[in-house]
Amino acid sequence: MTSLGNEGRDGFSSRFGIICAAAGSAIGLGNIWRFPYIAGESGGGAFLLIYLGFILMLGIPVMLSEFVIGRRGQRNALGSFKRLAPGKPWYFVGVMGIIAAFMILAFYSTIAGWTLEYIVKAISNSFAGKSSGEIEQMFNAFHTQAFRPILWQLIFMFMTVWIIMSGVRQGIERYAKILMPFLVLLLIIMAIRSITLPGAVEGLSFLFKPDFSAVDSSVLLAALGQAFFSLSIGMGTLITYGSYIQKKNKLGNLAIEVSMADTLIAILAGVAIFPAVFAFGVDPAGGPGLIFNVLPGIFQQMPGGYFFAIIFFVLLSIAALTSSISILEVVVAYMTEELKMSRRKATIMSALAATFVGLFCTLSFGPLKGLTITGLSIFDLLDYTASNLLLPLGGLMIVLFVGWYMKDADFKDELSNKGLLKVRIFGVLMFLLKFIAPVAIALILLNSLGFIGPVDGGTEHSN
Ligand code: TRP
Protein backbone atom coordinates (compact mmCIF):
# COMPACT_ATOMS: atom_id res chain seq x y z
CA MET A 1 0.00 0.00 0.00
CA THR A 2 2.78 2.38 0.81
CA SER A 3 4.84 3.47 -2.11
CA LEU A 4 8.19 5.10 -2.00
CA GLY A 5 7.69 8.83 -1.93
CA ASN A 6 10.17 11.62 -2.34
CA GLU A 7 13.82 10.92 -1.56
CA GLY A 8 13.00 7.26 -1.10
CA ARG A 9 10.93 7.93 2.03
CA ASP A 10 7.60 6.35 2.74
CA GLY A 11 4.85 8.34 1.18
CA PHE A 12 1.27 8.45 0.10
CA SER A 13 0.93 6.70 -3.19
CA SER A 14 -1.98 8.66 -4.58
CA ARG A 15 -3.93 11.83 -4.33
CA PHE A 16 -6.74 9.78 -2.87
CA GLY A 17 -4.43 8.49 -0.15
CA ILE A 18 -3.39 12.00 0.91
CA ILE A 19 -6.91 13.31 1.08
CA CYS A 20 -7.88 10.30 3.16
CA ALA A 21 -5.06 10.87 5.58
CA ALA A 22 -5.37 14.64 5.91
CA ALA A 23 -9.16 14.64 6.12
CA GLY A 24 -8.97 11.64 8.43
CA SER A 25 -6.72 13.64 10.72
CA ALA A 26 -8.87 16.75 10.68
CA ILE A 27 -12.26 15.09 11.02
CA GLY A 28 -12.67 13.56 14.43
CA LEU A 29 -13.88 14.23 17.94
CA GLY A 30 -12.95 17.86 17.37
CA ASN A 31 -15.91 18.30 15.04
CA ILE A 32 -18.54 16.26 16.77
CA TRP A 33 -17.61 16.29 20.44
CA ARG A 34 -15.50 19.43 20.94
CA PHE A 35 -17.12 21.91 18.57
CA PRO A 36 -20.62 21.70 20.12
CA TYR A 37 -19.39 21.81 23.68
CA ILE A 38 -17.06 24.76 23.15
CA ALA A 39 -19.71 26.60 21.11
CA GLY A 40 -22.18 25.90 23.92
CA GLU A 41 -19.86 27.33 26.54
CA SER A 42 -19.01 30.30 24.36
CA GLY A 43 -22.54 31.53 23.71
CA GLY A 44 -23.37 30.04 20.31
CA GLY A 45 -23.99 32.24 17.24
CA ALA A 46 -21.28 34.85 17.61
CA PHE A 47 -18.78 32.08 18.38
CA LEU A 48 -19.76 30.25 15.19
CA LEU A 49 -19.24 33.33 13.01
CA ILE A 50 -15.87 34.12 14.56
CA TYR A 51 -14.86 30.47 14.22
CA LEU A 52 -15.73 30.47 10.51
CA GLY A 53 -13.79 33.71 9.99
CA PHE A 54 -10.73 32.20 11.73
CA ILE A 55 -10.88 29.04 9.57
CA LEU A 56 -10.85 31.15 6.43
CA MET A 57 -8.34 33.86 7.37
CA LEU A 58 -6.01 31.96 9.70
CA GLY A 59 -6.70 28.24 9.46
CA ILE A 60 -6.31 27.70 5.73
CA PRO A 61 -3.08 29.77 5.51
CA VAL A 62 -1.56 27.87 8.46
CA MET A 63 -2.59 24.52 6.99
CA LEU A 64 -1.06 25.41 3.65
CA SER A 65 2.13 26.58 5.35
CA GLU A 66 2.43 23.27 7.20
CA PHE A 67 2.09 21.31 3.96
CA VAL A 68 4.72 23.52 2.33
CA ILE A 69 7.19 23.20 5.22
CA GLY A 70 6.76 19.42 5.33
CA ARG A 71 7.00 18.76 1.64
CA ARG A 72 9.98 21.07 1.22
CA GLY A 73 11.73 19.87 4.37
CA GLN A 74 11.09 16.15 3.73
CA ARG A 75 11.31 15.38 7.41
CA ASN A 76 9.23 15.18 10.58
CA ALA A 77 7.91 18.32 12.29
CA LEU A 78 11.22 19.07 13.97
CA GLY A 79 13.58 17.84 11.27
CA SER A 80 11.86 19.83 8.53
CA PHE A 81 12.66 23.09 10.34
CA LYS A 82 16.24 21.98 10.97
CA ARG A 83 16.65 21.29 7.31
CA LEU A 84 14.99 24.46 6.00
CA ALA A 85 16.67 26.69 8.58
CA PRO A 86 19.97 25.02 9.47
CA GLY A 87 21.57 26.30 12.65
CA LYS A 88 18.56 28.44 13.53
CA PRO A 89 16.25 27.90 16.50
CA TRP A 90 13.13 27.45 14.34
CA TYR A 91 13.10 23.74 15.12
CA PHE A 92 11.80 24.75 18.51
CA VAL A 93 8.39 24.95 16.85
CA GLY A 94 8.71 21.20 16.34
CA VAL A 95 9.66 20.67 19.98
CA MET A 96 6.54 22.54 21.05
CA GLY A 97 4.50 20.45 18.64
CA ILE A 98 5.75 17.23 20.15
CA ILE A 99 4.85 18.43 23.63
CA ALA A 100 1.40 19.42 22.38
CA ALA A 101 1.01 16.00 20.74
CA PHE A 102 1.45 14.23 24.09
CA MET A 103 -1.02 16.53 25.81
CA ILE A 104 -3.65 16.21 23.09
CA LEU A 105 -3.33 12.46 22.78
CA ALA A 106 -3.72 12.17 26.54
CA PHE A 107 -7.10 13.85 26.74
CA TYR A 108 -8.23 12.75 23.28
CA SER A 109 -8.02 9.13 24.33
CA THR A 110 -10.23 9.82 27.34
CA ILE A 111 -13.06 11.02 25.13
CA ALA A 112 -12.43 8.35 22.49
CA GLY A 113 -12.79 5.82 25.29
CA TRP A 114 -16.19 7.29 26.15
CA THR A 115 -17.33 6.81 22.54
CA LEU A 116 -16.29 3.15 22.71
CA GLU A 117 -18.37 2.72 25.86
CA TYR A 118 -21.30 4.27 24.00
CA ILE A 119 -21.05 1.69 21.22
CA VAL A 120 -21.62 -0.95 23.87
CA LYS A 121 -24.41 1.05 25.50
CA ALA A 122 -26.06 1.39 22.08
CA ILE A 123 -25.79 -2.33 21.37
CA SER A 124 -27.24 -3.24 24.75
CA ASN A 125 -30.13 -0.86 24.08
CA SER A 126 -29.35 1.21 27.17
CA PHE A 127 -30.93 4.41 25.86
CA ALA A 128 -34.40 2.95 25.35
CA GLY A 129 -37.18 4.50 27.38
CA LYS A 130 -34.89 6.79 29.36
CA SER A 131 -35.85 10.39 30.09
CA SER A 132 -33.25 13.04 29.38
CA GLY A 133 -32.59 13.25 33.11
CA GLU A 134 -31.93 9.52 33.21
CA ILE A 135 -29.64 9.78 30.19
CA GLU A 136 -27.58 12.41 31.99
CA GLN A 137 -27.53 10.21 35.07
CA MET A 138 -26.31 7.29 33.02
CA PHE A 139 -23.44 9.37 31.62
CA ASN A 140 -22.51 10.62 35.07
CA ALA A 141 -22.55 7.15 36.51
CA PHE A 142 -20.20 6.02 33.77
CA HIS A 143 -17.66 8.80 33.35
CA THR A 144 -17.02 9.48 37.02
CA GLN A 145 -15.87 5.89 37.59
CA ALA A 146 -12.23 4.92 37.49
CA PHE A 147 -12.09 1.44 36.07
CA ARG A 148 -14.36 1.37 33.02
CA PRO A 149 -13.32 4.67 31.41
CA ILE A 150 -9.67 3.71 31.86
CA LEU A 151 -10.26 0.29 30.34
CA TRP A 152 -11.77 1.91 27.24
CA GLN A 153 -9.00 4.47 27.06
CA LEU A 154 -6.43 1.67 27.11
CA ILE A 155 -8.31 -0.19 24.40
CA PHE A 156 -8.40 2.93 22.25
CA MET A 157 -4.69 3.60 22.73
CA PHE A 158 -3.98 -0.02 21.93
CA MET A 159 -5.85 0.29 18.63
CA THR A 160 -3.95 3.47 17.79
CA VAL A 161 -0.63 1.79 18.47
CA TRP A 162 -1.60 -1.28 16.52
CA ILE A 163 -2.50 0.75 13.46
CA ILE A 164 0.68 2.84 13.58
CA MET A 165 2.84 -0.26 14.01
CA SER A 166 1.28 -2.79 11.73
CA GLY A 167 1.27 -0.81 8.52
CA VAL A 168 -2.49 -1.04 8.06
CA ARG A 169 -2.63 2.71 8.46
CA GLN A 170 -3.31 3.55 4.88
CA GLY A 171 -5.87 0.79 4.78
CA ILE A 172 -7.70 2.33 7.71
CA GLU A 173 -7.59 5.76 6.17
CA ARG A 174 -9.05 4.56 2.89
CA TYR A 175 -11.69 2.68 4.76
CA ALA A 176 -12.47 5.81 6.74
CA LYS A 177 -12.77 7.88 3.60
CA ILE A 178 -15.49 5.57 2.40
CA LEU A 179 -17.19 5.51 5.79
CA MET A 180 -17.12 9.25 6.45
CA PRO A 181 -19.81 10.00 3.84
CA PHE A 182 -22.03 7.70 5.91
CA LEU A 183 -21.21 9.71 8.99
CA VAL A 184 -22.27 12.83 7.11
CA LEU A 185 -25.48 11.16 5.97
CA LEU A 186 -26.20 10.04 9.51
CA LEU A 187 -25.56 13.53 10.85
CA ILE A 188 -28.00 14.94 8.30
CA ILE A 189 -30.69 12.47 9.38
CA MET A 190 -30.00 13.27 13.05
CA ALA A 191 -30.11 16.98 12.29
CA ILE A 192 -33.51 16.61 10.66
CA ARG A 193 -34.84 14.70 13.67
CA SER A 194 -33.32 17.24 16.01
CA ILE A 195 -34.79 20.28 14.20
CA THR A 196 -38.24 18.74 14.19
CA LEU A 197 -38.34 18.13 17.95
CA PRO A 198 -40.76 20.38 19.83
CA GLY A 199 -38.86 23.38 21.18
CA ALA A 200 -36.02 22.98 18.70
CA VAL A 201 -36.16 26.49 17.26
CA GLU A 202 -34.47 27.91 20.29
CA GLY A 203 -31.45 25.74 19.57
CA LEU A 204 -31.22 26.95 16.00
CA SER A 205 -31.30 30.57 17.06
CA PHE A 206 -28.70 29.80 19.74
CA LEU A 207 -26.37 28.44 17.06
CA PHE A 208 -27.09 30.87 14.24
CA LYS A 209 -28.19 34.15 15.83
CA PRO A 210 -25.04 35.99 16.82
CA ASP A 211 -25.10 37.94 20.06
CA PHE A 212 -21.90 39.93 19.99
CA SER A 213 -22.55 41.47 23.39
CA ALA A 214 -21.37 38.20 24.93
CA VAL A 215 -18.06 38.19 23.04
CA ASP A 216 -14.95 38.81 25.10
CA SER A 217 -11.33 37.80 24.72
CA SER A 218 -11.99 34.33 26.10
CA VAL A 219 -14.54 33.69 23.33
CA LEU A 220 -12.03 34.80 20.70
CA LEU A 221 -9.39 32.51 22.17
CA ALA A 222 -11.83 29.61 22.38
CA ALA A 223 -12.76 30.07 18.71
CA LEU A 224 -9.12 30.26 17.71
CA GLY A 225 -8.23 27.15 19.70
CA GLN A 226 -11.21 25.25 18.28
CA ALA A 227 -10.35 26.24 14.69
CA PHE A 228 -6.76 25.02 15.14
CA PHE A 229 -7.73 21.87 16.98
CA SER A 230 -10.35 20.89 14.45
CA LEU A 231 -8.09 21.48 11.45
CA SER A 232 -5.21 19.58 13.12
CA ILE A 233 -2.90 22.55 12.71
CA GLY A 234 -0.31 24.27 14.87
CA MET A 235 1.69 21.26 16.08
CA GLY A 236 3.18 19.71 12.98
CA THR A 237 0.72 16.94 12.16
CA LEU A 238 0.33 18.40 8.70
CA ILE A 239 4.06 19.11 8.40
CA THR A 240 4.62 15.41 9.00
CA TYR A 241 1.89 14.45 6.52
CA GLY A 242 3.14 17.11 4.09
CA SER A 243 6.48 15.37 3.98
CA TYR A 244 4.73 12.24 2.70
CA ILE A 245 2.94 14.09 -0.12
CA GLN A 246 4.28 13.59 -3.60
CA LYS A 247 5.74 16.50 -5.49
CA LYS A 248 3.04 16.37 -8.12
CA ASN A 249 0.08 16.88 -5.81
CA LYS A 250 -1.55 20.27 -5.39
CA LEU A 251 -1.13 21.61 -1.88
CA GLY A 252 -3.52 24.54 -2.29
CA ASN A 253 -6.44 22.41 -3.36
CA LEU A 254 -5.73 19.95 -0.59
CA ALA A 255 -5.78 22.63 2.12
CA ILE A 256 -9.06 24.08 0.86
CA GLU A 257 -10.80 20.73 0.43
CA VAL A 258 -9.78 19.43 3.84
CA SER A 259 -10.76 22.66 5.61
CA MET A 260 -14.13 22.77 3.91
CA ALA A 261 -14.98 19.16 4.69
CA ASP A 262 -13.92 19.65 8.29
CA THR A 263 -15.97 22.81 8.74
CA LEU A 264 -19.04 21.35 7.12
CA ILE A 265 -19.04 18.42 9.51
CA ALA A 266 -18.68 20.66 12.55
CA ILE A 267 -21.65 22.77 11.46
CA LEU A 268 -23.71 19.65 10.79
CA ALA A 269 -22.87 18.38 14.25
CA GLY A 270 -24.00 21.71 15.68
CA VAL A 271 -27.31 21.52 13.81
CA ALA A 272 -27.83 17.98 15.05
CA ILE A 273 -27.07 18.82 18.66
CA PHE A 274 -28.29 22.28 19.65
CA PRO A 275 -31.98 21.93 18.73
CA ALA A 276 -32.03 18.77 20.84
CA VAL A 277 -30.12 20.47 23.66
CA PHE A 278 -32.93 22.98 24.01
CA ALA A 279 -35.72 20.51 23.28
CA PHE A 280 -34.49 18.23 26.08
CA GLY A 281 -33.64 21.04 28.46
CA VAL A 282 -29.93 20.21 28.69
CA ASP A 283 -27.49 22.98 29.68
CA PRO A 284 -25.63 24.05 26.49
CA ALA A 285 -22.69 25.16 28.63
CA GLY A 286 -22.55 21.82 30.41
CA GLY A 287 -19.03 20.93 29.26
CA PRO A 288 -17.36 17.90 27.69
CA GLY A 289 -20.29 15.56 28.36
CA LEU A 290 -22.65 17.51 26.10
CA ILE A 291 -22.98 15.07 23.19
CA PHE A 292 -23.21 12.06 25.49
CA ASN A 293 -26.08 13.70 27.34
CA VAL A 294 -27.95 14.72 24.19
CA LEU A 295 -27.38 12.25 21.35
CA PRO A 296 -28.95 9.19 23.00
CA GLY A 297 -32.17 11.18 23.33
CA ILE A 298 -32.19 11.93 19.61
CA PHE A 299 -31.70 8.28 18.68
CA GLN A 300 -34.45 7.30 21.03
CA GLN A 301 -36.89 9.47 19.11
CA MET A 302 -35.88 8.16 15.68
CA PRO A 303 -37.41 5.21 13.85
CA GLY A 304 -34.62 2.65 13.66
CA GLY A 305 -32.78 4.65 16.33
CA TYR A 306 -31.35 1.49 17.86
CA PHE A 307 -29.32 0.79 14.72
CA PHE A 308 -28.53 4.42 14.00
CA ALA A 309 -27.02 4.79 17.45
CA ILE A 310 -24.72 1.80 17.00
CA ILE A 311 -23.59 2.89 13.56
CA PHE A 312 -23.06 6.46 14.71
CA PHE A 313 -20.82 5.64 17.67
CA VAL A 314 -18.86 3.12 15.57
CA LEU A 315 -18.25 5.74 12.87
CA LEU A 316 -17.33 8.35 15.46
CA SER A 317 -14.78 5.97 16.99
CA ILE A 318 -13.24 5.35 13.58
CA ALA A 319 -13.07 9.09 12.96
CA ALA A 320 -11.33 9.45 16.33
CA LEU A 321 -8.85 6.71 15.40
CA THR A 322 -7.77 8.32 12.13
CA SER A 323 -7.15 11.49 14.14
CA SER A 324 -5.30 9.87 17.02
CA ILE A 325 -2.92 8.06 14.66
CA SER A 326 -2.09 11.41 13.07
CA ILE A 327 -1.20 12.81 16.50
CA LEU A 328 0.97 9.84 17.48
CA GLU A 329 2.63 9.87 14.05
CA VAL A 330 4.12 13.30 14.80
CA VAL A 331 6.03 11.86 17.74
CA VAL A 332 6.90 8.57 16.05
CA ALA A 333 8.23 10.28 12.90
CA TYR A 334 10.41 12.47 15.11
CA MET A 335 11.77 9.57 17.15
CA THR A 336 12.52 7.37 14.17
CA GLU A 337 14.13 10.05 12.01
CA GLU A 338 15.92 12.21 14.55
CA LEU A 339 16.60 9.74 17.35
CA LYS A 340 17.08 6.78 14.96
CA MET A 341 14.77 4.57 16.97
CA SER A 342 12.91 1.66 15.45
CA ARG A 343 9.31 2.39 14.55
CA ARG A 344 8.12 -0.27 16.94
CA LYS A 345 10.05 1.06 19.90
CA ALA A 346 9.16 4.67 19.14
CA THR A 347 5.46 3.84 18.91
CA ILE A 348 5.34 1.86 22.13
CA MET A 349 7.36 4.33 24.16
CA SER A 350 5.48 7.41 23.04
CA ALA A 351 2.10 5.74 23.43
CA LEU A 352 2.99 4.60 26.95
CA ALA A 353 3.97 8.13 27.92
CA ALA A 354 0.81 9.65 26.45
CA THR A 355 -1.34 6.98 28.10
CA PHE A 356 0.24 7.65 31.47
CA VAL A 357 -0.74 11.31 31.27
CA GLY A 358 -4.07 10.25 29.79
CA LEU A 359 -4.97 8.25 32.90
CA PHE A 360 -4.93 11.43 34.94
CA CYS A 361 -7.21 13.09 32.39
CA THR A 362 -9.70 10.26 32.66
CA LEU A 363 -9.53 10.18 36.45
CA SER A 364 -9.99 13.94 36.64
CA PHE A 365 -13.70 13.38 35.96
CA GLY A 366 -13.95 10.93 38.84
CA PRO A 367 -11.62 10.19 41.75
CA LEU A 368 -9.34 13.15 40.95
CA LYS A 369 -12.16 15.61 40.35
CA GLY A 370 -11.15 17.80 43.26
CA LEU A 371 -7.60 18.19 42.02
CA THR A 372 -7.46 21.51 40.21
CA ILE A 373 -4.66 23.75 39.08
CA THR A 374 -5.47 27.44 38.56
CA GLY A 375 -9.10 26.41 38.85
CA LEU A 376 -8.95 23.87 36.02
CA SER A 377 -9.14 20.09 36.28
CA ILE A 378 -6.24 18.11 34.80
CA PHE A 379 -8.33 17.40 31.72
CA ASP A 380 -9.25 21.05 31.21
CA LEU A 381 -5.73 22.22 31.94
CA LEU A 382 -4.22 19.98 29.28
CA ASP A 383 -6.92 20.80 26.74
CA TYR A 384 -6.66 24.52 27.45
CA THR A 385 -2.88 24.64 27.36
CA ALA A 386 -2.55 22.55 24.22
CA SER A 387 -5.50 23.83 22.20
CA ASN A 388 -5.67 27.46 23.23
CA LEU A 389 -2.02 28.22 23.86
CA LEU A 390 0.38 25.77 22.19
CA LEU A 391 -1.53 25.34 18.92
CA PRO A 392 -2.02 29.08 18.28
CA LEU A 393 1.58 29.75 19.30
CA GLY A 394 2.75 27.02 16.93
CA GLY A 395 0.55 28.42 14.18
CA LEU A 396 1.97 31.89 14.80
CA MET A 397 5.53 30.63 14.43
CA ILE A 398 4.59 28.64 11.33
CA VAL A 399 3.13 31.64 9.48
CA LEU A 400 6.06 33.79 10.57
CA PHE A 401 8.43 31.16 9.22
CA VAL A 402 6.74 30.92 5.85
CA GLY A 403 5.82 34.61 5.62
CA TRP A 404 9.11 36.12 6.74
CA TYR A 405 11.90 33.56 7.00
CA MET A 406 11.31 31.53 3.87
CA LYS A 407 11.92 33.26 0.55
CA ASP A 408 8.69 34.16 -1.24
CA ALA A 409 10.13 32.50 -4.34
CA ASP A 410 10.72 29.23 -2.47
CA PHE A 411 7.21 29.28 -1.08
CA LYS A 412 5.80 29.90 -4.54
CA ASP A 413 8.02 27.22 -6.01
CA GLU A 414 6.61 24.64 -3.60
CA LEU A 415 3.01 25.80 -4.00
CA SER A 416 3.21 25.77 -7.79
CA ASN A 417 5.05 22.44 -8.01
CA LYS A 418 8.10 24.14 -9.48
CA GLY A 419 6.14 26.51 -11.65
CA LEU A 420 3.91 23.85 -13.18
CA LEU A 421 0.74 25.16 -11.58
CA LYS A 422 -0.64 28.64 -11.71
CA VAL A 423 -0.96 29.92 -8.15
CA ARG A 424 -4.02 32.09 -7.89
CA ILE A 425 -4.39 34.91 -5.39
CA PHE A 426 -0.76 34.57 -4.36
CA GLY A 427 -0.71 38.23 -3.33
CA VAL A 428 -3.71 37.79 -1.04
CA LEU A 429 -2.17 34.69 0.47
CA MET A 430 1.16 36.40 1.13
CA PHE A 431 -0.65 39.32 2.73
CA LEU A 432 -2.55 36.95 5.00
CA LEU A 433 0.63 35.08 5.89
CA LYS A 434 2.88 38.07 6.47
CA PHE A 435 0.49 40.45 8.19
CA ILE A 436 -3.07 39.38 8.97
CA ALA A 437 -2.45 35.93 10.44
CA PRO A 438 0.52 36.75 12.68
CA VAL A 439 -0.98 40.00 13.96
CA ALA A 440 -4.39 38.46 14.61
CA ILE A 441 -3.03 35.39 16.40
CA ALA A 442 -0.58 37.44 18.46
CA LEU A 443 -3.27 39.94 19.49
CA ILE A 444 -5.69 37.23 20.57
CA LEU A 445 -3.01 35.40 22.56
CA LEU A 446 -1.70 38.55 24.25
CA ASN A 447 -5.15 39.86 24.95
CA SER A 448 -6.41 36.68 26.54
CA LEU A 449 -3.27 36.31 28.61
CA GLY A 450 -3.97 39.77 29.94
CA PHE A 451 -0.98 41.55 28.43
CA ILE A 452 -3.15 43.96 26.50
CA GLY A 453 -6.75 45.01 26.80
CA PRO A 454 -9.15 43.95 29.53
CA VAL A 455 -7.64 41.46 31.91
CA ASP A 456 -9.91 38.47 32.17
CA GLY A 457 -7.29 35.78 32.02
CA GLY A 458 -9.35 33.66 29.67
CA THR A 459 -10.10 31.22 32.43
CA GLU A 460 -13.87 31.28 32.00
CA HIS A 461 -13.47 27.98 30.27
CA SER A 462 -15.49 25.95 32.72
CA ASN A 463 -16.34 22.35 33.01
N1 TRP B 1 -8.40 17.49 14.37
C2 TRP B 1 -8.68 16.29 15.09
C3 TRP B 1 -10.13 16.33 15.51
O4 TRP B 1 -10.83 17.21 15.14
C5 TRP B 1 -7.74 16.10 16.26
C6 TRP B 1 -6.31 16.22 15.85
C7 TRP B 1 -5.61 15.37 15.07
C8 TRP B 1 -5.44 17.28 16.15
N9 TRP B 1 -4.34 15.86 14.86
C10 TRP B 1 -4.21 17.03 15.52
C11 TRP B 1 -5.62 18.42 16.89
C12 TRP B 1 -3.18 17.92 15.61
C13 TRP B 1 -4.56 19.32 16.99
C14 TRP B 1 -3.36 19.09 16.35
O15 TRP B 1 -10.59 15.47 16.19
CATH of residue 38: 1.10.4160
Residue 6 lies in a domain: no
Q: Is the CB of 239 under 6 A from ligand 1?
A: no
Question: Dihedral angle at the C-alpha atoms of 427, 433, 438, 439, nearest 10 degrees?
Answer: 10
- 461 pLDDT above the threshold of 50: no
Cα 191 to Cα 272: distance, rounded to the nearest angstrom: 4
CA 28 to centroid of ligand 1, rounded, Å: 7
8 domain-assigned: no
**pLDDT tens for residues 307-347?**
999 999 999 999 999 999 999 999 999 999 999 999 999 99
10 occurs within a structural domain:
no
Check whether 16 has a pLDDT greater than 50: yes
Is ligand 1 within 6 A of the CB of residue 28? yes
Is 453 inside any structural domain?
A: no
pTM value is 0.95
Pocket-testing residue among 32, 226, 230, 387, ligand 1, by greatest number of atoms within 8 A of Cβ? 230
- Domain of 196 in residue numbering reads as 15-448
Q: How far apart are CA 421 and CA 107, in angstroms?
A: 41
Give the list of residues 6+ apart from residue 77 with CB closer than 8 angstroms, or none.
70, 93, 94, 97, 98, 235, 236, 237, 239, 240, 330, 333, 334
Mean pLDDT of 63-70: 98
Q: How far lies 215's CA from each of 41, 48, 195, in Å?
A: 12, 11, 26
Is the pLDDT reported for residue 454 higher than 80? no
Instruction: Please say if the pLDDT value at position 2 is more than 60.
Output: no
- Number of Cβ within 10 Å of residue 15's Cβ equals 15
Q: Does 195 have pLDDT greater than 70? A: yes
Q: Dump pLDDT digits (tens) for 399-419.
A: 999 999 999 999 999 999 999
Q: What is the pLDDT of residue 5?
A: 55
Q: Are 354 and 109 in contact (CB under 8 A)?
A: yes
Closest ligand 1 atom to Cα of 233: 14
According to the model, what pLDDT value does residue 455 have?
Answer: 42
CB 119 within 8 A of CB 156: no
Please identify, by atom number, the ligand 1 atom nearest to the C-alpha of residue 324.
Answer: 7
Ligand 1 pocket, 254 CB below 6 A?
no
Ligand 1 contacts CB of residue 323 (under 6 A): yes
Q: How many angstroms separate the alpha carbon of residue 214 from the centre of ligand 1?
A: 27
What percent of the chain clears pLDDT 70, i.e. is strictly above it? 95
pLDDT band at 463 (very low <50, low <70, confident <90, very high): very low
Work out the average pLDDT over 157-166.
93
Beta strands 376-377 and 10-11, pairing class: unpaired
Q: How far is CA 11 from the centre of its chain?
A: 23
Q: Three-state DSSP class for 372?
A: strand
Distance between Cα 99 and ligand 1 center (Å):
14
Q: What is the mean pLDDT of the chain?
A: 93
Q: Is 133 within the bounds of a domain? A: yes
Q: Which of 233, 323, 330 to mutate to test the pocket of ligand 1 (most atoms within 8 A of CB)?
A: 323
Question: Helices 290-300 and 132-143, interaxial angle, to 10°?
Answer: 140
Return the H-helix or E-strand segment holding 373. strand 372-373
Helices marked H in 209-289? 217-231, 237-242, 251-280
Residue nearest to atom 14 of ligand 1 (CA): 232
**CA of 390 relative to ligand 1 center, distance in Å:** 13
Ligand 1 centroid to Cα of residue 134, in Å, is 32
Nearest alpha carbon, ligand 1 atom 6:
232
Of residues 5, 70, 22, the one with CA closest to residue 406? 70
Cα 391 to ligand 1 centre (Å): 10
Alpha-carbon gap, residue 221 to 268, rounded angstroms: 22
In a domain, 314, yes or no: yes
Given pLDDT bands bounded at 50, 70 and 90, which one contains residue 424?
confident
Q: Is the CB of 226 under 6 A from ligand 1?
A: no
Question: What is the distance in A from the centroid of ligand 1 to the CA of 213?
Answer: 30
- Give the tens place of pLDDT for each residue, 163-182: 998 876 777 777 777 888 99
Number of domains in the chain: 1
User: Cα(first)–Cα(last) distance of the chain, in Å?
Assistant: 43
Distance of CA 436 to the CA centre of its chain: 23
Please check whether residue 295 is in contact with residue 312, taking contact to mean a CB–CB distance below 8 angstroms: yes
Tell me, yes or no, whether 7 lies in a domain. Answer: no
* Spatial contact of 108 and 327, defined as CB atoms under 8 Å apart: yes
Task: For residue 231, report the distance from its CA to the centre of ligand 1, in Å.
Answer: 6
Distance CA 125, CA 41 (A): 30
Does residue 384 belong to any structural domain of this protein?
yes
**Atom number in ligand 1 closest to CA 323:** 7
